[in-house]
Chain A
């Protein structure tokens, strides 16, 4: 069967904020751009981002990019690269204005300027008074941005491949990426897209954990494709968990519930946070609360028939307070947990929310294939958004910086690609072996017969990730987890589809996603096992301190032999003085 081929200047995998903002720059520069998205673009996970975008516009309170930079460096627990952070905080301002000019309906102040709200972790004057830095479009910021960028891309004639699944990157013998093999989900037909440049913008990978707030589409597809193309993933041990997700389901129950007086109890009805954080109790920081919940469960004080969660009690607040101050929580709890919090406690467990790590890039979105700061970027390959690691979040991301990251680095990758295509205007010759390999990955799923089902192995994998590479990280348990995960990876060859039809075959798509999840999961577990310190979101009770002497460095993981290497943090900003590491207190 002849493989259909299409050619573009740029191929963008993923149609969230990063992919669409890059595509818009390119299409406006009259480049021929293809955007591949496995769901309709405005259904990308960016739509779930309600909070807003940080930019030091100083519309509400005094602010400047340098203070924003300080907060971000501190928030990162000093693992963020300060040149990239300076760049992001400076570029935040033109990026927000460009979005405004493109039609994003930001909420306004009476004087017509963009309204800005205050979020945790924002300060004036390098750690002083609270700042107000977050620009929002009511509580639908992600949706407003996606919708605007999509419309602008349609106007600029970006070519969309909606409901196409990216299977594998195609590369030549030098490792240069030549495009990707993609699958038309509607027909089951493969398509080869050749491109001079490729941008990975496939978003996060929260689905590696059993309990996650991420949508089902967040399966780390771009990260896994990078791994299989021989590229590393950086700092994957840094995964942000929200302490209270609905148990077994993952939907967020906002911190506001505990702020209003809700508290956590174990199966004996004990208010256990009093043991772990006698002063702050249920309002202790996210990682402390998350670890306390997991400790209760691990020590046999969990609730429910499997003892695998704790309870969040709010009924004592009364129906009026719940209705007035916590709208939405009652509805969510009724629908997803089957309990009315006015009468019964909500079953909760920490939920995986955001990955700080990803495909290593420089501040222009260019993929860096080596564990060296002096190495060259891989020509023509870019990554931006949650799948990438620039690295601006380091060990911990601040609220309002995730939309910022995707928009700034999507935009800058777009600009850099324009320059690259000017200088490299020809397509490189296709490499047949790589195409055959990619097609093979697809055809492997045509094998029929008895075997493990996709859903069985996915369930085992996600539970193993949660138990051994989640919130609670101690040496023996994690080492055991890595071995178990390798065993699960070996079992992949025994997985068979239960449905071999061509059109909209969800079973096949989920099989391809499962391969991606397992590759990415191993990168998290192996990286976490070897980082013997506690920093930001990576918390090791057996190594409770941050060790700047030994560990102020980035982890790089390669799929081949599950190899790790390390490279130093770029602590030197572009134009200002470095912020030296300090103890992080708020």
Chain B
């Protein structure tokens, strides 16, 4: 479970967004800076859970267009994909 402190620890999350793939670095960092703070705690928790997945899975969801089985994750992934990085 993630507690209040973990949800608000943006410095830690910023480092967790450092990944092994450039695509994820750029996308996850932009999402964190642009949207994370305004999200409801439920989605913030999901984002923290997402960061625990292996890079190829996050890549397949957020860049490759594959849909996560879990509906709630799908909503988060859709928001990440819609993040402006261009």
Please say whether chains A and B are actual partners in one complex.
yes
Interface centre among B11, B22, B54 (most CB of A within 10 A): B22
- Residue A290, interface by CB 8 Å: no
Closest to A139 in B: B56
- Residue A313, interface by CB 8 Å: no
Q: B15: which of A45, A185, A335 is its contact (CB, 8 Å)?
A: A185
Chain A hits for B15, CB < 8 A: 39, 163, 185, 504, 506, 509
Chain B hits for A339, CB < 8 A: 86
- Residue A47, interface by CB 8 Å: yes
Q: Produce 1/0 per residue, B69-86, CB < 8 A to A.
A: 000000000000100111
The CA of A576 and the CA of B64, in the complex, are separated in Å by 46
- Residue A44, interface by CB 8 Å: yes
Q: A residues engaging B (CB < 8 A)?
A: 38-39, 42-48, 140, 142-143, 147, 163, 185-186, 212-217, 249-251, 328, 331-332, 335-339, 501, 503-506, 509
Chain A hits for B24, CB < 8 A: 215
- Residue B26, interface by CB 8 Å: yes
> In the complex, are the beta carbons of A47 and B23 less than 8 A apart?
no
> Contacts A328-B64, A337-B86 given: A39-B20 contact, CB under 8 Å?
yes
> In the complex, are the beta carbons of A48 and B21 less than 8 A apart?
yes
> In the complex, are the beta carbons of A39 and B11 less than 8 A apart?
no
Chain B hits for A43, CB < 8 A: 18-20, 55
Closest to A140 in B: B56
25 residue pairs A–B, Cβ–Cβ below 8 Å: A39-B15, A39-B18, A39-B19, A42-B54, A45-B20, A143-B55, A163-B15, A215-B18, A215-B20, A215-B21, A215-B24, A215-B25, A216-B25, A249-B26, A249-B85, A251-B22, A328-B64, A331-B63, A336-B26, A336-B85, A339-B86, A501-B11, A503-B12, A504-B9, A505-B11
> In the complex, are the beta carbons of A335 and B18 less than 8 A apart?
no
The CA of A432 and the CA of B8, in the complex, are separated in Å by 40
The CA of A582 and the CA of B27, in the complex, are separated in Å by 45
> Contacts A47-B55, A336-B86 given: A504-B12 contact, CB under 8 Å?
yes
Chain A hits for B14, CB < 8 A: 504, 506
> In the complex, are the beta carbons of A212 and B11 less than 8 A apart?
no
> In the complex, are the beta carbons of B86 and A331 less than 8 A apart?
no
In B2-44, the 8 Å CB interface with A consists of 9, 11-12, 14-15, 18-27
Q: B20: which of A44, A328, A501 is its contact (CB, 8 Å)?
A: A44
The CA of A249 and the CA of B63, in the complex, are separated in Å by 15
The CA of A335 and the CA of B55, in the complex, are separated in Å by 17
Q: B residues engaging A (CB < 8 A)?
A: 9, 11-12, 14-15, 18-27, 54-56, 63-65, 81, 84-86
Excluding A39-B18, A336-B23, 6 further A-B contacts by CB distance (< 8 Å) are: A44-B20, A48-B20, A213-B22, A331-B65, A338-B84, A504-B15
Chain B hits for A328, CB < 8 A: 63-64
Distance to closest chain A CB from B60 (angstroms) = 9
Q: A335: which of B11, B25, B27 is its contact (CB, 8 Å)?
A: B27
Chain A hits for B63, CB < 8 A: 328, 331-332, 335
> In the complex, are the beta carbons of A338 and B86 less than 8 A apart?
yes
Distance to closest chain A CB from B12 (angstroms) = 5
Closest to B84 in A: A338
> In the complex, are the beta carbons of A216 and B18 less than 8 A apart?
yes
The CA of A185 and the CA of B15, in the complex, are separated in Å by 9
> In the complex, are the beta carbons of A503 and B22 less than 8 A apart?
no
Chain B hits for A38, CB < 8 A: 18
Closest 5 CB pairs of A and B: A338-B86, A47-B20, A504-B11, A216-B25, A504-B12
Closest to B20 in A: A47
Chain B hits for A335, CB < 8 A: 23, 27, 63, 81, 85-86
Chain A hits for B65, CB < 8 A: 331
> Contacts A504-B14, A505-B11 given: A212-B22 contact, CB under 8 Å?
yes
The CA of A212 and the CA of B22, in the complex, are separated in Å by 9
The CA of A335 and the CA of B59, in the complex, are separated in Å by 12
The CA of A42 and the CA of B20, in the complex, are separated in Å by 8
The CA of A186 and the CA of B55, in the complex, are separated in Å by 21
The CA of A458 and the CA of B64, in the complex, are separated in Å by 30
